[in-house]
Amino acid sequence: MISMFSWKKNNNYFVVIFLSVHFLFTGTVFCQHTSEELFHELIDQEKKSALQFHGKVESTASVSSFDVIAERCEWTLDPQVRYISGKVTTCFRPLQSSMNQIELDLSYALIVDSVIYHGSPISFQHSAADELLISFPIPLSAQVIDSVSIVYHGVPGLSGFGSFEIDQHATGPILWTLSEPYGSKEWWPCHQDLNDKIDTLDVFVTTASMYKVAGNGLLMSEIISGNSKVSHWHSEYPVAAYLVGVAVTNYSTFADTIVLSDGTSMPVVQYTYPQDSARTRSKLAEQHFNEVILFFDSLFGKYPFSKEKYGQAQFGWGGGMEHQTMSFIGNFDAYLLIHELAHQWFGDKITCGSWEDIWLNEGFATYLQGLGRQRIVPSTWNSFLTGISNTITTKPDGSVFCDDTTDVSRIFDYRLTYCKGAYLLHMLRWVMGDSAFFTSIRNYISDANLVYSYARTSNLKTHLELGSGLNLTYFFNQWYTGQGYPSYQLEWNQNGSIVDLMIGQTQSDASVSFFQMPVPIQFSGNGRDTILVFDHQYSRATVYMYTGFRSEEYLF
């Protein structure tokens, strides 16, 4: 719940209202100064990138005509040159009978040299709408796996957060990709939607021999031939197209091994700039980062990609990106590291099935960055909650539900998608209780119909209701699709140990007529205190409460 706190005094009533961590509220600045700067920089970049956004947006088709089985990507990259050339082979299963075409997504700025099918070139159309329509010489049979290769080259486009960038750090050039939300097609031909994942991914990157390549999955080989090197990354976990990423520079690497909750071991690898390697290793140890991995592993189930790794690769951007098994990190701030780690469960293992539901990725990751940090430094929790509450209440309106998926800045609205999404989870935890809440989340994140696939908010709601026995329709109407937040006014009178309370409520936005929430009030006096919870069903509701002592102070 979001609450604005007000003073009220008349001849009979006087109230002092303090802060409670169960509610969204105004308070101190966000967490630490470094985190405040980090996330505001991220917001600024998102707004700028929105102005660059053009082209095809989220697929509205509920069923695709084909299913991507595997991708084999062979790229030649030079971190000093913003350019890509290569071949992408898509292995797919037709889902319709007598299918004679498939459509992939690829920026019209890139040049398709040829499309190869069974060893021979075939016809294709590459439109200004960034659609690559491939026509087969004979109709394809449903459910019979087939493949096609696209040979292409060019200078990638600039949508989203940059998609494909080069930069310079202190000791060398760097190239990286960042495709979320619609940028995959800017640099490789793919099936860019939120209803199909790539089951198996192989990436071969040819670079100069002095460079290292960070990528998804396991590093299978690095083969040097003369002045060139071919790095091969392989993954066998389903992955969304926007979560495929590569970064190339003169990385230094180091790795730890951790033992997960089921007793199996897994590498945690770091790709850092040479000049930052020692400092980064020290900082990760100071932050007990591996302990946070194990905390999430125990709380939400085994790390989702345990047969491969968790990795972090430094790159030249202000924030971070949760590329599957290899997050790209702009700096090694504790909150950012934990946020991207949390995405491996919430965003990568289960991915939002529409950008309307992006809070399923970002709201969870934001809430878990606070929860993970609390595990290491308990004193940070209240300031974390206060900070995101302050952000939410800077404006009176706005819903967690993303109502415009054509606007990148709206999809990644820090106030609504990140902060209000996170506090929605915190309020659910309060309404349901810890046991039901965490049990429901574990059931959601391990649902066989959702794991390594996509989910909508309705899927999460179903698990929350099953786990708690509550009907949460009212809650999601108010806090997910509804806008704004309530302000509370508390009036009281006291007769011995009996307290007479009236709780009033006003709303910041007319979309919600009343926010129904259990309201905890702490009474204290003469060295004693107690907390009573009032089920607030309507504004200016009056209740009589027995405290057992004369109260002098109220914590709301």
CATH of residue 540: 2.60.40
Percentage of the chain exceeding pLDDT 90? 77
Q: What is the DSSP letter of 185?
A: G
Q: Specify the pLDDT at position 7.
A: 25
**What confidence tens digit (pLDDT) does each residue in 298-328 have?**
999 999 999 999 999 999 998 999 999 999 9
The reply to whether 60 falls in a domain is no
Weakest-pLDDT range from 222-231, 338-347, 499-508: 499-508
**Domain around 292:** 66-343
The Cα–Cα gap between 190 and 2 comes to 41
Residue 549 pLDDT level (bands cut at 50, 70, 90): low
Compute the average pLDDT of residues 121-148. Answer: 97
Residue 30 pLDDT level (bands cut at 50, 70, 90): very low
Residue 534 pLDDT level (bands cut at 50, 70, 90): confident
Q: Specify the pLDDT at position 206.
A: 98
83 and 45 inside one domain: no
296 and 188 inside one domain: yes
76 and 121 inside one domain: yes
Please count the other Cβ atoms lying within 10 Å of the Cβ belonging to residue 552: 12
The reply to whether 219 falls in a domain is yes
Query: From its phi and psi, is residue 54 left (phi > 0), alpha (psi between -120 and 50) or beta?
Result: beta
Q: What's the domain count of the chain?
A: 3
Q: Specify the pLDDT at position 57.
A: 53
Q: What is the CATH classification number for the domain harbouring 406? A: 1.10.390.10
Looking at every residue in the chain, the average pLDDT score rounds to 88
Q: Is the pLDDT of residue 546 over 70?
A: no
**Alpha-carbon 404 to chain mean position:** 18
437 and 491 inside one domain: no
**What confidence tens digit (pLDDT) does each residue in 246-274 have?**
999 999 999 999 999 999 999 999 999 99
434 and 496 inside one domain: no
379 and 305 inside one domain: no
The reply to whether 338 falls in a domain is yes
The reply to whether 387 falls in a domain is yes
The Cα–Cα gap between 425 and 242 comes to 25
Q: Specify the pLDDT at position 5.
A: 25
> Which residue, of 293, 311, 343, is where some domain finishes?
343
The reply to whether 105 falls in a domain is yes
Residues 353 and 334 sit within 8 Å (Cβ to Cβ): no
Angle (CA) 355 371 512, round 5°: 50
Q: Is the pLDDT of residue 99 over 60?
A: yes
Q: Specify the pLDDT at position 418.
A: 98
pTM beyond 0.75, yes or no? yes
Residues 138 and 101 sit within 8 Å (Cβ to Cβ): no
Residue 553 pLDDT level (bands cut at 50, 70, 90): low
- Taking each helix axis from N to C end, the angle separating 359-376 and 457-468, rounded to the nearest 10 degrees, works out to 50
Q: Specify the pLDDT at position 51.
A: 36
* Of 343, 330, 325, residue with least CA distance to 418: 343
359 and 336 inside one domain: no
The Cα–Cα gap between 145 and 125 comes to 23
The Cα–Cα gap between 278 and 412 comes to 33
Helix, strand and coil content of the chain, in percent to the nearest 5, comes to 30, 35, 35
Angle (CA) 425 237 245, round 5°: 80
The Cα–Cα gap between 251 and 276 comes to 10
Residues 222 and 229 sit within 8 Å (Cβ to Cβ): yes
The reply to whether 59 falls in a domain is no
The reply to whether 498 falls in a domain is yes
